[in-house]
Chain A
């Protein structure tokens, strides 16, 4: 099944004067907002927010470390939600045909799952690297196999596996369904990572922000607002990249279908010539 290339991709890119196929007026505006927000975040995090009484300036790593994992959590939750939608739209009796995803919505949710998981992996990697640097100056070591760090590495490796599974050659419907199943299994680790500091004795500190009603805030004042602002900035950046990645996945599908059509046409020509 070949769909004609969606004209909106090209029109969007032309309107935005974009050299890529993934730009649009909206993503260009979002990109400008994201870059400006990053600039303000750097100002708040590196100059305006005060050093910590105990940790000194190293606390500034928190403004990258904590929002990174929050955005990664968001990406993985979105992957699970989109995967559930894929499984629902491609279930037997839902009008899907064997071999390819006939349902347009299922294809879209599959792309959402792929883009969100990739961003989740990127931001989990940033969390691990910045956490390691922060650990060196506060704990005296880059790494400890404590519950929070170990479960986070497991989360990272699991989603790397998910991305690898998405790349295995298979019929699009089968690939989307098995990836969706894995995403729903992988997301089980998310609450384990989050609550690991409460469930086990860990070197890692407890949650930076207590979001439960009436809970004590571990952070207040400029640090609190800088952390929230950093989280908003990371969310906008992730959204911006995610939209581009979603559109690239659409192009990858088109390229795959085009090459399949080309192969089939070649085979038909060979058969016709052989008669």
Chain B
């Protein structure tokens, strides 16, 4: 492995691992907020069939 290849691999791996972790944290927060009905955009409307008005 050349010096350039090792440096490139190291930086790319570090950036990818950190970005993946950040993505997981944000997605987890979003999912939990939605499940709890306290999302940043307010409670998620219930779109289940039984909640729809009957024709």
Contacts and interface: CB of A to CB of B under 8 A. Distances in A.
A61 B7 contact: yes
Contacts of A244: 22, 25-26, 29
Interface string B8-41: 0111011001100110011111101101101111
Given A42-B11, A125-B17, A245-B25, A9 B6 contact: no
B17 A126 contact: yes
A162 interface: no
Interface string A26-57: 00000000000000001000100000000111
B40 A133 contact: no
B38 to A, nearest CB: 5
Contacts of B7: 46, 57-58, 60-61
B4 interface: yes
A120 to B, nearest CB: 12
A13 interface: yes
B36 A130 contact: no
A126 B11 CA distance: 10
A60 B5 CA distance: 12
Q: Interface SS of chain B: helix, strand, loop or mixed?
A: helix
Nearest to A135: B6
Contacts of A55: 3
A99 interface: no
A95 interface: no
Q: Interface SS of chain A: helix, strand, loop or mixed?
A: helix
Contacts of A20: 26-27, 29-30, 33, 40
A5 B36 contact: yes
A19 interface: yes
A55 B14 CA distance: 21
10 closest residue pairs by CB, A with B: A21-B33, A13-B40, A22-B29, A251-B32, A57-B3, A58-B3, A20-B29, A130-B10, A133-B6, A20-B30
27 contacts: A10-B33, A10-B38, A13-B39, A14-B41, A21-B32, A21-B38, A22-B25, A23-B40, A42-B11, A46-B7, A56-B3, A61-B10, A64-B10, A64-B11, A64-B14, A65-B10, A122-B17, A122-B21, A125-B17, A129-B10, A241-B18, A251-B29, A251-B32, A251-B36, A252-B32, A255-B36, A258-B36
Interface of B: 1-4, 6-7, 9-11, 13-14, 17-18, 21-22, 25-30, 32-33, 35-36, 38-41
